[in-house]
């Protein structure tokens, strides 16, 4: 409110300032020509007031937030998400599930339903989705499609490629504050997307399991949504740590698909792309 009052005072003192040219005659450049990087503009709007006992309509200056503010927020959110340009291209429309085997069609259906019901399930205990199965069956594409849709709708999503992230953590073991911030962000972000969790053939270390449990337990208690792709199955996760596996199973109860099958499910091995 103080910002708007200040802008209103500046506008009243010099209403033509936005149209004026600097004394040196140069024309300034702006990121947004509409509001000239002010974040908004004042427009005249009719307001009904009581004057001497009568209702009269007067024109008053009203601060209107510029569309560039929302664009800037979305751009900042995109950068923070760590989603690559290649991932931004993955949508439901270019996932050709009609020609895919039945297990993949089921994964598509679950992902589509989850995306469309996100606002309804976001704050519930069952607000996650987990796609499990062999490489090349579309898990990452489908979760990226959900992610892109959520971000386009204004939701904050953090993308965590598990293998690469844990390599960075190992490289920075001497920088405890750096790693603490990484895991704290995983805990608190609105939506967390973990890709390729515990990717075979390597076995997760006790440290990995411990840190993941801390992240999942926090999100479980705070009812924060999680998206997970993994080549492991539910029994494997439960065998690693029953507390971890059972929380994930509950969080993703309605939106968990285990895609069983052989190499015929790997679209990357097809002779002719779908």
pLDDT digits (tens, 9 = 90+) for 201-235: 989 999 999 999 999 999 999 999 999 999 999 99
3-state secondary structure the chain: CHHHHHHHHHHHHCCCCCCCCCCCCCCCCCCCCCCCCCCEEEEEEEEEEEECCEEEEEEEEEEEECHHHHHHHHHHHHHHHCCCHHHHCCCCCCCCHHHCCHHHHHHHHHHHHHHHCHHHHCCCCCCCEEEEECCCCCHHHHHHHHHHHHHHCCCCEEEEEHHHHHHHHHHCCCCHHHHHHHHHHHHHCCEEEEECCCCCCCCCCHHHHHHHHHHHHHHHHHCCCEEEEECCCHHHHHHHCHHHHHHHHHHCCCCEEEECCCHHHCHHHCCCCC
pLDDT digits (tens, 9 = 90+) for 126-157: 999 999 998 888 899 999 999 999 988 889 99
- Could you tell me what percent of the chain has a pLDDT over 70? 72
- CATH class of residue range 82-269: alpha beta
Residue spans in the chain of domains classed CATH 3.40.50.300: 82-269
């Amino acid at each position: 409110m103080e910002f708007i009052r200040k802008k209103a005072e500046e506008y009243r003192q010099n209403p033509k300032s936005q149209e004026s040219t600097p004394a040196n005659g140069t024309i300034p450049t702006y990121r947004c020509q509409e509001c000239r990087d002010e974040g908004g503009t004042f427009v005249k709007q009719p307001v009904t007031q009581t004057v001497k006992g009568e209702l009269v309509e007067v024109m008053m200056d009203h601060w209107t937030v510029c569309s560039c503010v929302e664009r800037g927020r979305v751009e900042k959110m995109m950068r923070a998400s760590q989603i690559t340009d290649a991932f931004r291209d993955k949508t439901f429309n270019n996932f050709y599930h009609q020609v895919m085997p039945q297990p993949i069609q089921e994964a598509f259906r679950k992902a589509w339903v989850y995306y469309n019901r996100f606002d309804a399930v976001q704050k519930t205990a069952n607000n996650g989705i987990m796609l499990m199965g062999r490489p090349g069956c579309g898990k990452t594409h489908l979760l990226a499609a959900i992610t892109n849709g959520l971000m386009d709708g204004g939701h904050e999503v953090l993308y965590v490629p598990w293998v690469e992230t844990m390599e960075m953590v190992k490289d920075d073991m001497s920088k405890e504050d750096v790693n603490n911030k990484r895991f704290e962000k995983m805990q608190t972000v609105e939506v967390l997307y973990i890709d390729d969790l515990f990717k075979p053939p390597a076995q997760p270390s006790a440290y990995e399991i411990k840190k993941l449990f801390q992240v999942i337990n926090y999100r479980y208690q705070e009812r924060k949504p999680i998206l997970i792709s993994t080549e492991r199955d539910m029994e494997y996760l439960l065998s690693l740590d029953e507390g971890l596996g059972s929380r994930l199973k509950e969080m993703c109860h309605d939106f968990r698909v285990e895609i069983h099958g052989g190499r015929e499910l790997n679209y990357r091995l097809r002779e002719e792309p779908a």
